[in-house]
């Protein structure tokens, strides 16, 4: 005697449900495939824009927001604007920046203040995050648009930013 009151499917009913599920899966997979191919075909027929770098260096435009090499733009009097506060060095997540400072006493006021002696920037370990630039209250450092940094010697990637440019920097 059967004590379970649930209805059991007949022999043909179970097969139809499986077939519907199988066909529905194929239909959904086909729709998904066609949705992806729609994007592919749309891109296939759009006009291509190819930069022919290094042949077009003279006409190459780089976005103003591009983060290239870090540099120190000169202030009003031609000197750098760095106050040697060290905020950029503290905010650098991987120790790319190193400041060497001297403490001098002002003759008029008698107050002591820091003066920048050397601002060393290791381009090889910089990840171009921009935290140093955003932390600088004086606006003493900024990213330029120079992007060609290939060298054979890693020592050439360490730059002194507050030094006058050398003829090798080109």
Structural contact between residues 133 and 142, judged by C-beta atoms closer than 8 angstroms: yes
pLDDT tens digit string along 32-57? 999 999 989 999 999 888 878 888 88
| % the chain with pLDDT above 70 | 86
How far is the C-alpha of 142 from the C-alpha of 69, rounded, in Å?
A: 8
pLDDT tens digit string along 106-147? 888 889 999 999 999 999 999 999 999 999 999 999 999 888
**Phi and psi angles of residue 149, each rounded to the nearest 5 degrees, phi first:** -125, 20
Q: pTM for this one?
A: 0.65
Nearest partner of 78 among 170, 164, 166, judged by Cα? 164
């Amino acid at each position: 005697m059967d004590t379970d009151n649930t209805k059991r499917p007949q022999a043909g009913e179970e097969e139809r449900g499986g077939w519907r599920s199988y066909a529905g899966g194929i239909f959904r997979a086909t729709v998904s495939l066609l949705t992806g191919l729609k994007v592919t075909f749309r891109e296939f027929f759009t006009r291509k824009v190819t930069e022919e770098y290094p042949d077009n260096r003279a006409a190459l435009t780089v976005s103003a927001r591009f983060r290239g090499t870090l540099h120190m733009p000169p202030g009003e009097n031609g000197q750098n604007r760095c106050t040697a506060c060290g905020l950029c060095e503290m905010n650098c997540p991987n120790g790319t920046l190193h400041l060497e400072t001297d403490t001098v006493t002002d003759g008029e006021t008698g107050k002591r203040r820091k003066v920048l002696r050397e601002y060393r920037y290791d381009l090889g370990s910089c990840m171009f995050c921009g935290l140093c630039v955003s932390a600088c209250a004086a606006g003493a450092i900024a990213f330029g648009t120079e992007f060609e940094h290939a060298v054979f010697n890693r020592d050439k990637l360490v730059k002194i930013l507050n030094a006058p440019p050398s003829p090798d920097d080109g």
